């Protein structure tokens, strides 16, 4: 018997591996989608982008008077 012969057992293992791969890819896609959704639904993000922006400096932020 040739050693390359594919046994039913190999098919079952292959099915298990493919199944696990699909689950992992789906999980990654879901976490990525969740990240995008969370970022989109949050407040707008700003940061210093290489140059000083006075509007973002806490010392310059004026809070409205009550």
Partner 1 sequence: MTDIRADISYSDNKEAGFSDYIALLKPRVMSLVVFTALVGLIVAPGALHPIEALAAIIFIALGGGASGALNMWWDADIDSVMKRTAKRPVPAGKIDAREAMSLGFALSGISVIMLWLATNALAGALLAFTIFFYAVIYTMWLKRATPQNIVIGGAAGAFPPMIGWVAVTGSISIEACLMFMLIFMWTPPHFWALALFMKSDYHKANVPMLTVTHGRKATRTHILVYTVALIPFALAAGFTSIGGPVYLALALVLNAMFLQGAWAIWRRSESQAEADGYAVEKRVFRFSLAYLFLHFGAFLVEAALSRVTVYADFAAMFKILELF
DSSP class of residue 55 equals G
Residue 39 interacting with partner 1 (CB under 8 A): no
Residue 5 interacting with partner 1 (CB under 8 A): yes
Cβ neighbors of 45 (< 8 A, separation 6 or more) are: 39
x/- mask, partner 1, residues 42-61, rule CB under 8 A, reads: --------------------
Give one word for 38, left, alpha or beta, with left for phi > 0 and alpha for psi -120 to 50: alpha
Binding positions for partner 1, rule: CB under 8 A:
1, 3, 5, 7-9, 12-13, 15-16, 18-20, 30, 33-34, 36-38, 40-41
């Amino acid at each position: 018997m040739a050693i390359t012969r594919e046994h039913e057992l190999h098919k079952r293992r292959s099915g298990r591996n493919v199944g696990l791969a699909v689950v992992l890819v789906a999980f990654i896609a879901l976490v990525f989608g969740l990240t995008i959704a969370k970022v989109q639904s949050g407040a707008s993000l700003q940061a210093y982008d290489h140059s000083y922006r006075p509007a973002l400096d806490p010392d310059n932020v004026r809070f409205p008077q009550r």
